[in-house]
């Protein structure tokens, strides 16, 4: 039986995939649990229309993310931190401070979309962070930690 998956299923497929499974598995497990629907002609027609609309929206979002990435490549952030006389930071600098510095520059980026190569930065210096704007668009920004 052909079905359209409504959620990701391990070892079977991802959301919106059309897969063939045994009748009993579809009727007794996948369809009653709401994990899939039968792939009838009308369901396939609706599925194809949704896929084409989603592709158009996804392309628009990706283009916006690429434009934002082009703007962000040129910025360099300076983040102030309280330090000891030897250059060690009291505490650490993490994605929260980077997100705040980006907000001050006019870029609203969630801290969960920022990743650092190091877990936490504990010394003054120059570093880089990767910002995930879209599943296919990432940008690397440079920032400097300065002592206050």
Domain residues of the chain, as ranges? 2-67, 69-147
Q: What is the pLDDT of residues 43-65, one digit of tens each?
A: 999 999 988 888 888 889 889 98
C-beta of residue 5 within 8 angstroms of C-beta of residue 19: yes
Bridge partners, residue 94, by sequence:
none
Q: What is the CATH number of domain 69-147?
A: 3.10.430.100
Tokens, residue 71 = 């703007």
Q: Does domain 2-67 fall into CATH 3.40.50.920?
A: no
Q: What is the pLDDT of residues 90-131, one digit of tens each?
A: 888 888 888 998 999 888 888 888 988 877 788 888 888 899
Per the listing, tokens 């897969």 go with: 19
């Amino acid at each position: 039986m052909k079905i359209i998956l409504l959620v990701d299923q391990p070892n079977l497929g991802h959301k919106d995939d059309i897969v063939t499974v045994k009748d009993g598995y579809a009727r007794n497990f996948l369809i009653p649990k709401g994990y899939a629907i039968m792939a009838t002609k009308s369901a396939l027609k609706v599925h194809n229309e949704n896929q084409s609309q989603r592709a158009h929206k996804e392309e628009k979002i990706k283009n916006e993310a690429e434009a934002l990435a082009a703007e962000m490549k040129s910025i360099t952030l300076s983040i102030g931190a309280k330090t000891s006389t030897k250059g060690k930071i009291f505490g650490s600098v993490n994605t929260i401070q980077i997100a705040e510095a980006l907000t001050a520059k006019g870029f609203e980026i969630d801290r969960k979309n920022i990743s650092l190569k190091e877990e936490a930065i504990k010394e003054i210096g120059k570093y880089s962070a990767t910002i995930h704007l879209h599943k296919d668009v990432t940008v690397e920004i440079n920032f400097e930690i300065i002592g206050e």
